[in-house]
Structure 1
Amino acid sequence: MLPLNDPVLTVLLCLLAYLTGSVLFAIPVCRLWKLPDPRAQGSGNPGATNVYRTGGWPPALATLVLDALKGWFPVWLAIWAELSVFAQAMVALCAVTGHMVPLFYRFQGGKGVATALGGGLALAPVTTLVISAIWGMMMWRWRISALASVVAIGCGPLVSAVLEPETLPLFGLLALLIVVRHRNNLIRLAQGRESRF
């Protein structure tokens, strides 16, 4: 463990996670690929799905991986430092919160799904892989990213309660945050206006 007591290290890693989460990789990725700003296209969400709509799979995959890594890395640091599962979960939540309300972009961010994926893979890999499989099945059936994300993360608390119960509070909060962030998508879905892949 690093030579810092747990509360100080937890606060430092939470701050690091929030700042790392505040980097919206969709924006530099689109600049690199010479694509329009994702915040001004489609749903206006700076995430992999919206990047895919304007640039296809390569920039979307790059966005997904980078957004996931910014969730995975600070949680991995917390695990390496042997912090408690509760502290690790706090770090993961801070990373997701950073993506949703980023300091560097006037607190206007994305949905947090990819960042939650990265944090979840570090902290609760079995639960996260099951949730990812649910997402994949929903996408295969309906081709609607928002629907797949909401259903998958909505199953998160139940899956974690069965497989990795110590992470249930994390997946409960993630489900709440991500479903709320998808509220406009859910309204469009109810109206039959949500975009398909």
Structure 2
Amino acid sequence: MNVAAVIISYVASSISAPWLIARLYGVDLRRAGSRKLGGSNLMKTVGVVPGVIGGVLDAAKGFLAVYVAGSLGLSVETQLACGLAAVVGQSWPLFHRFDGGRANATGWGFAIAADPIAALIMFIPILAATVGTLIAKPRPTRLVPLASLLSFGVFAAVIWEQEGTTPAVVAGLTLLGLVVLRRITAGVREDLATGAPLLRVLVNRAVFDRSELQERGLVAI
């Protein structure tokens, strides 16, 4: 395991492209919209094109961490660790007081680099949820976050079916765990301060990526 490469991946991924892009427009994502440092919040608060660019750059973190490590001839274990470090950097960035985005895009980028076939399959629930959200009236707001979570579970399951228990499967399960952990811990103190039941807070956060403040309409979705 090349520890230096893993650390570099984390530090590099701690740079938030959506936050930087938003600042160019005079917007602080920490205080705007859903207050998340991600492409979706950038899209809603600044615009579609900047949001797409920010999302692609976030995905590139996970992809490049694995790809560059592989290009340097590092071991598979190190490649996967670098990709996971990029996810950690996006979720708990060094330069943003360890309070970052949800790492969905970074996780998808990691998945594409780690196992393209499994990554292709993992996008099926996301595509279905996106289509359902666009055609349903009234438009559901929980479908895509649920599908995003499901996609990471699908990724790990597909690799396990293909390869059995391998480092890639362990990495896939770790990725799923990191995504859930980030959802649960992001601003959870604010939710608990409302007096809402702990179980409801945890379920809404883990499954639907929805804070209690968003449930009450105090923060944008």
- Which bin holds the TM-score, normalised by the shorter protein? 0.7 to 0.9
Residue 61 of structure 1 corresponds to which residue in structure 2?
A: 52
Contact 2:92-2:100 at 8 Å conserved across structures? yes
Which one-letter code corresponds to 2:180 in the other structure?
V
1:54-113 CA-to-partner distances (Å, cap 9, x unmatched) read 123201110111111122112112111222222211111111001111111111111111
- Give the 3 Å change call, closer, same or farther, for CA 159–35 of structure 1 in structure 2: farther
- CA–CA distance in 2 between the matches of 1:155 and 1:180? 18
| Secondary structure at 2:30 match in 1 | helix
Q: Once superposed, what is the RMSD of the aligned Cα atoms? A: 2.6
Identify if the C-alpha distance between structure 1 residues 78 and 194 changes in structure 2 by more than 3 Å, giving closer, same or farther.
Answer: farther
1:171 and 2:172 equivalent? Answer: yes
Judged with a 3 Å threshold, the aligned counterparts in structure 2 of structure 1 residues 194 and 71 are, in CA distance, closer, same or farther, namely: farther
Listed as ranges, the gaps of 5+ residues in structure 1 are: 1-6
AA aligned opposite 1:74:
A
* Displaced runs of 4 or more, over 6 A: 194-197
Q: Percent identity?
A: 29
Equivalent position to 1:96, from 87, 90, 114: 87
For 1:176 and 1:40, the matched residues in 2 are separated by 27
Q: Tell me: CA distance 1:58–1:90, structure 2 relative to 1, closer, same or farther (3 Å).
A: same
Question: Who is 1:4 aligned against?
Answer: none
Cα distance in 2 for partners of 1:106, 1:81 equals 31
Name the structure 1 match of 2:128: 137
Partner of 2:6: 14
Is the CA contact 2:121–2:154 (under 8 Å) kept in the aligned structure 1?
no
Alignment check: 8 A CA contact 1:96 1:112 kept: yes
Stretches of structure 2 that go unaligned for 5 or more consecutive residues are 134-139, 185-200
- Residue 187, structure 1, aligned to residue 179, structure 2: no
Q: Which string of whole-angstrom CA distances, capped at 9 and with x for unpartnered residues, describes residues 109-135 of structure 1?
A: 111111111222112111112112321
1:38 is paired with a residue whose SS is coil
Which has the greater radius of gyration?
A: 2
Q: How many residues align?
A: 188
Aligned position for 1:149: 148
Q: Give the superposition deviation at 1:35.
A: 5.0
Q: How far is the alpha carbon of 1:156 from its aligned partner? A: 2.2
Give the equivalent residue in structure 1 for 2:192: none
TM-score (normalised: structure 1) = 0.84
* In 1: Cα distance, 2:215 partner to 2:153 partner: 22
